[in-house]
Amino acid sequence: MHTTRSAARPLVRAVLSLSLLIAATGTAAAERLWTEGGGDDTITDDTPVTFGAFSKLAERCAPAVVSIETESTRREVMHPFFGDMGGEGLQKGAGSGVIINADGHVLTNNHVVEGARTIKVHLHDGRDLPARLIGRDPATDLALIQIETPKKDLPVAPLGDSDALKIGAWVVAIGNPMGLSHTVTTGIVSAKGRREVRPDGRLRYPDFIQTDASINPGNSGGPLFNLRGEVIGINTAISARGQGIGFAIPVNMIKTVLPQLADDGRVARSWLGVQIAPVTPELAKSLGLAKPEGAAVVQVVPGGPAQGGGLREEDVILGFDGKPIERHDDLPWLASTAGIGRTVAVDVLRDGRRQQLQVKLARMPGEDDQPARLDRQSSGGPAGKEDILGMRVAPMDRALRARLDVEGGAMVLGVDAGSPAERAGMQRGDVIVRCNGQAVRDPGQLGAAVAKTAPGSTVRLLVQREGGRAFVAFTR
């Protein structure tokens, strides 16, 4: 599991790139992937809690919780909650997960299974079974795996409603901390909507449930239950500086991405094309707002959907698709459910007057239209794409270079599961601008630079990702 600081610095001028997540949470998809609710409906918010209640809940819920063991050849960045137990050349990791349907689909964290060559799950009844990766999403740190067994006798945990969860409510965590499978701990919901916690630079949509239920390395990917026996979160982070401070991904956020992980192996994202900042009390006063609310537009990307819809710098977005924007960080996730190609209403304050604009959302630059199933072959792709080091890369046209403010580069359209590039952390949407110190203007130059690198040598890439740059290095 990730670790993070117990208190984040105030966000004075936080600027966020809006990436929009298409949702496919229809009734049919939900029925196929998970059971909605179905916990003990005799328990309400006013039901007296006894110690016997925890025993009954543990007995009912523990069978659906699994311990996860993985093997990988190398992992560039190890997470303290991943539970690294391996040596040089072969590394083992441990985490947790929860079975959500009789077909053996298991919900866990992306960082538990990322880069794994093999995945094995240990069931409460003593069975050890292999599993395969179905889909993963680094932006929410979620992954879906499936147990490989012909039997349909697997225990299942129902998913609850995290929006209905109240601060102070009792919760139970079950997982595999420190290799101790099916450990049960209890606590309360300490807070909701923790968005200042960002344990991973790739995590774009934090909205954590905070709990004091004891969670430790190995709990990563394990469920957080309410007293009805329903999963209301997936444990994913702890505070590195404090005890009794843990964080879980809300299950309602998880439901949004699960169908796409099952169908496509990834989450397709659309693009609004603005950068935003919080509305401070001083800014609200200058704009004539009664209170700080909304998201201030600090940049509109030329040629993007927002510009096409008439958005301008210094607009304040007060509503999106019929929903109010109370805090600036409400907007990314609300927009994430809108969908690629959909036209949405955007309510803005401009020059002291409110107006409504219509914006047609586009696909995020760098994402192709093809499904990203993890068993998809890397060869035989569309014309113009090349496969280099397990990455499908393509040239960038003039408009895309202008949007991303780069002179050239090779856009990563996909990364093969288990490849050196994936284990080093390369992601769809990365733009490779330099390779081993040489400028990269297109995939041809990247291929030439890689060809000069002897097998077993290090490949060093300078990558632009989400407005910043970072080095990624791995062995060819």
370 falls within a domain: no
pTM above 0.85, yes or no: no
pLDDT in tens, 91-100: 788 999 999 9
User: What CATH number corresponds to the domain at position 452?
Assistant: 2.30.42.10
**% of the chain residues with pLDDT over 90:** 41
Same domain (yes/no): 323, 400:
no
- Whether residue 397 sits in one domain with residue 355: no
Last residue of a domain, one of 235, 265, 295: 265
Both tokens of 314, joined, read: 């210094």
306 and 187 in a common domain: no
Is residue 429 a part of any domain in this protein? yes
| Cα 338 to Cα 335: distance, rounded to the nearest angstrom | 5
Condensed to tens digits (0 to 9), the pLDDT of residues 312-337 reads: 999 999 999 999 999 998 888 778 77
313 in a domain, yes or no?
yes
Q: Which of 2, 79, 105, 111 is catalytic?
A: 111
pLDDT of residue 233: 96
CA-based R_g, the chain, Å: 23
Q: Are residues 250 and 292 in the same domain?
A: no
Closest among 217, 223, 253 to 235, alpha carbons compared = 223
Instruction: Encode pLDDT of 184-233 as tens digits.
Output: 999 999 999 888 776 665 567 778 999 999 888 888 999 999 999 999 99
The number of folded domains in the chain is 3
Residues 182, 53, single domain; the answer is: yes
pLDDT by residue (tens digit) across 39-91? Answer: 787 787 778 888 788 999 999 999 999 999 998 754 444 444 444 444 445 67
Residue 377, pLDDT score = 32
Q: 337 with 208, same domain?
A: no
Based on the residue annotation, tell me whether 220 is a catalytic residue of this protein: yes
Clarify whether residues 152 and 223 are in a common domain. Answer: yes
Cβ 182 vs Cβ 176: under 8 Å? yes
The CATH number of residue 94's host domain is 2.40.10.120
Q: Is residue 397 assigned to a domain? A: yes
Domain range for 294 is 269-363
Given 67, 220, 270, 336, the catalytic residue: 220
User: Is residue 380 in some structural domain?
Assistant: no
Give yes or no: 442 in active site: no
| Active-site option among 2, 96, 137, 141 | 141
Instruction: Kindly state whether residues 252 and 292 are assigned to the same domain.
Output: no
Asked whether 99 and 158 are in contact (CB, 8 A), the reply is no
Please return the burial class of 289, using the count of CB atoms within 10 Å of its CB with bins 0-12, 13-18 and 19+. middle
Q: Are residues 21 and 38 in the same domain?
A: yes
pLDDT, tens only, 332-383: 877 877 888 999 999 999 999 999 999 999 876 655 444 444 433 332 333 3
Which of 363, 398, 430 lies at the terminal end of a domain, its last residue?
363
At which of 231, 265, 299 does a domain end?
Answer: 265
Question: Which residues contact residue 58 at a Cβ distance below 8 angstroms, ignoring those fewer than 6 apart?
Answer: 172, 174, 184
pLDDT at position 200: 62
Asked, for residue 378, whether it belongs to a domain, the answer is no
Query: For residue 211, what pLDDT is reported?
Result: 94
User: Both 339 and 405 in a single domain?
Assistant: no
Within 10 A of 359 (CB to CB), how many other CB atoms are there? 25
Residue 399 lies in a domain: yes
46 and 188 belong to one structural domain: yes
Tell me, yes or no, whether 74 lies in a domain: yes
Note whether 233 and 249 are within 8 A (CB).
Answer: yes
pLDDT digits (tens, 9 = 90+) for 261-315: 998 898 887 778 888 899 999 999 988 899 999 999 999 988 989 999 999 999 9
The reply to whether 198 and 312 lie within a common domain is no
Return the higher-pLDDT residue of 466 and 53: 53
